[in-house]
Homo-oligomer: A and B are copies of this chain.
Amino acid sequence: MTSPLQTPLFQTLCVIGPGHIGSSILRRARLEPALATRLVTTDAIPAVRETARCIGLADEVPDTMAEAVRDADCVILCVPVGAMGSVAAEVLPAMKPGAILSDVGSTKGSIVADITPHLRPDIPFVPAHPMAGREFSGPESGFAELFDDRWCLLTPLPGMPDEATQRIATMWALMGARTRAMDIAHHDKVCAMVSHLPHLIAFTICGTADDLADESRSEVLDFAASGFRDFTRIAGSNPVMWRDIFLNNREALLEMLARFTEDAQAMARAIRWGDADFIVDRIERGRRIRKTLIENRQA
């Protein structure tokens, strides 16, 4: 009874918020007996709970968060980052001693600040961020392979037991992800650059196109070349989730946007004055990054 295959990592795993990420965790856990024996989920929205029951995402879908977390050995918060604090305040008093609290949000500084005031000394909190989102949302959009070969970043807090961090890292490895630990501020800066800024730009350029005169606007849509199509794929993402991310990673995101704007202005100046070498140099850099990404198996 002590082999790793017979003793699952958690007896009961609870996902709060079975959206795109949360439902993908549950789907993967279903296929992975080493992860958990029993799956529980719930959501603040009744229709989401109903869908979770209909499609059989978990063994149990209680109506309240307190019921959902009561017997859980691990509770993962998969709610918009702006809701992390209030949801933590609701679930923490109901959790059993020694259970682990974790999350999947992409603005670790704000989440740690919002959850810390509600923490209990007997509940270790391990912040985590699987970098695997797509433009879909809702319980029906998840899939078991979402995390395969993707990174899950852990930002362990000082004073928390190593064993809890290790269990969350093992959980993500069983989900198919590669894990790495990093400092919270550094995490937020890197994610502002590789994820939050590209989303801000994609949402913005769609608005810019929408502002064109009526005739042009319809043609923007008719003739969308491959460049614009990729941007609108990103722009199809969940509004509440991204509003919260932007507002909760404000400083890092504004810094990266300022850097980008300076660089775009330099490009505009090169185009206005015909500086062909500068333009080619910028394009070549993009190609180098692309090449490195492909080599790193992330493209």
Contacts and interface: CB of A to CB of B under 8 A. Distances in A.
A234 B226 contact: yes
Interface stretch (A1-9, A108-116, A213-221): A213-221
B290 A271 contact: no
Count the copies. 2
A84 interface: no
A231 interface: yes
Given A190-B219, A286-B232, A268 B264 contact: no
A187 to B, nearest CB: 9
A47 B296 CA distance: 30
A109 to B, nearest CB: 15
A106 to B, nearest CB: 8
Please classify how large the interface on chain A is, using the bins under 10, 10 to 19, 20 to 34, 35 or more. 35 or more
A287 B206 CA distance: 8
A208 B282 CA distance: 10
Interface stretch (A34-42, A53-61, A96-104, A192-200): A192-200
Contact of A226 (B133, B186, B204, B227): B133
B204 A267 contact: yes
Closest 6 CB pairs of A and B: A235-B286, A198-B227, A206-B286, A195-B225, A239-B283, A236-B290
Interface of A: 131-135, 151, 153, 180, 182, 186, 189-191, 193-212, 216, 219-237, 239-240, 242-243, 246-247, 250, 253-254, 256-261, 263-265, 267-268, 271-272, 274, 276, 279-280, 282-293, 296, 298-299
